[in-house]
Amino acid sequence: PRHKCGNKKSCPENHFAFKIISGAANVVGPSICFDDTILMSNLKNNIGRGLNIALVNGTSGQLLKANTFDMYSG
């Protein structure tokens, strides 16, 4: 069976599924999936080097804000 965000198991009732992939150098970019919706990825063109952060409403699951912080350049 297919589970949300490609996880190996389903989440309990009243819980959100999520998957965060950090990426691998310049080969595979990072991505954030929340409740079977990709919030940040290479395809959405909203990721960058450093910290990629998605702020999500914990009750509704709605994406409030997504941003990237380049920690390498200061």
Over residues 52-60, mean pLDDT? 93
Predicted model pTM: 0.83
Predicted confidence band of residue 74 (pLDDT cuts 50, 70, 90): low
14-40 tens-digit pLDDT: 899 999 998 776 778 899 999 999 999
As a whole number, the mean pLDDT across the chain is 90
Distances (CA, A) of 6 to 2, 3, 32, 53, 60: 7, 5, 12, 20, 21
Q: In this predicted model, which residue has the larger pLDDT, 16 or 50?
A: 16
